[in-house]
Amino acid sequence: MHSRTTCFINSPEMPCLMNLQLEPGSESGQKLDRNEAVRHNWRYQVGTMARQSIGPDQFEGTWAVVSKVAHALVRAFLVALLVATPSLLLPETPSDTAQLVLVLAILASFMTFLEYYGRYPSIVEFRFAPPFNRLKFVGLALTVLLLTLILRGKANPTELTMFLTVLGNGLGEVIDFPYSPVRLMVLMMPADADAALIASVRTAAGLSYTISIVMMFVFLTYVRFLGWPLRNGAFNVWVNLPMFDPTGGGDVLHRLKRDAGLNIVLGTLLPFLIPAAIKAASDLINPVSIADSQTMIWTVTAWAFLPASMLMRGIAMSRIAEMIVEKRRRAHARAQAEAMQGA
């Protein structure tokens, strides 16, 4: 029997390996050969398992990045399409207006992509608490699309545009009662305004205000009956409120309740204050003519959407304040129970 010891660097954990070379005919050599084969097989299996465990993790990490980029691109495209919708659907859009809208669409899509591609939000609130932002986007997109189709129907009428016009007229007449927001929008118009223009403003105001009310009540249903935001798992206050400074002074709970009340009050009053402010400003400056189709679309949409968005924010912050109160109550009760047990 001949033996030989060979040392070589295999890994930091196994710097030296003894390899016994025996004559093939000996019984001990056959046993050691079988043992060596078992060791080689074991090392191969361990290496394969390690590679298999690393491979899926790398694949999952790559897939997560690709999915994140894809979702951010989809959101950016939808925002750009929303901004460009009136210019794409309305006939005879001036070239200067189309170029300006293109720049705004690219800028809005780029900002949206950066916001949703980042790991943590910087501006968008409740990004990890759906469907808050999804409801807002759907309401805004639906308002812009329907108003655009109604105004497009004046030049190119179709069955859809005629149906939407009749629907908007009906909603505008129902909501157009004394001291209502729609009535104030109609009274905002100049005294010498054409009757057709006043009817268009009433139709657009009635339809957009109805959509904003429906959007707000759908979110309220999610909050009161579907357990928003806890229905999606744990809720992180600081991540979902990036503009809210927790170190701004005072109790966080008091500040949340104060901001919630302020948003609810402003959201309730803005539909009445905006037309009055525009009417007062028209006596001092020459406002942009609302007779332009795109001006009417964005003015009426902002008048209806911004107050509803503030109301939704107020409701959301009020809900978060309730969650913090409940969590503090449970923590206090737990501390009292532990103190009683310790005594």
| Percent of the chain surpassing pLDDT 90 | 52
Cα torsion 187, 191, 192, 195: sign: positive
Q: Is 226 within a domain?
A: yes
Cα torsion 228, 229, 233, 234: sign: negative
Same domain, 244 and 289: yes
Same domain, 201 and 331: yes
Exposure on the CB side of residue 245, measured as CA atoms within 13 A? 4
Same domain, 72 and 36: no
Query: Rounded distance, CA 203 to CA 319, Å?
Result: 34
Same domain, 81 and 168: no
Q: Is 152 within a domain?
A: yes
| Percent of the chain surpassing pLDDT 70 | 80
Same domain, 98 and 158: no
Distant-in-sequence, close-in-space partners of 39: CB < 8 Å, separation ≥ 6: none
Same domain, 216 and 324: yes
Distant-in-sequence, close-in-space partners of 30: CB < 8 Å, separation ≥ 6: 24
Same domain, 19 and 166: no
Q: Is 39 within a domain?
A: yes
Compute the average pLDDT of residues 294-306. 94
pLDDT digits (tens, 9 = 90+) for 46-59: 444 444 444 556 66
Q: How many domains does the chain have?
A: 3
Same domain, 103 and 165: no
Same domain, 13 and 93: no
Same domain, 154 and 284: yes
0.75 exceeded by pTM:
yes
Q: Is 125 within a domain?
A: no
Expressed as residue numbers, the domain containing 223 is 140-342
Q: Is 130 within a domain?
A: no
Same domain, 250 and 195: yes
pLDDT digits (tens, 9 = 90+) for 123-164: 899 988 999 999 999 999 999 999 999 999 998 999 999 999
Q: Is 126 within a domain?
A: no
pLDDT digits (tens, 9 = 90+) for 1-44: 444 433 333 333 333 333 333 333 444 444 444 445 445 454 44
Q: Is 266 within a domain?
A: yes
Q: Is 51 within a domain?
A: no
Q: Is the pLDDT of residue 239 over 50?
A: yes
CB 294 within 8 A of CB 85: no
Same domain, 200 and 94: no
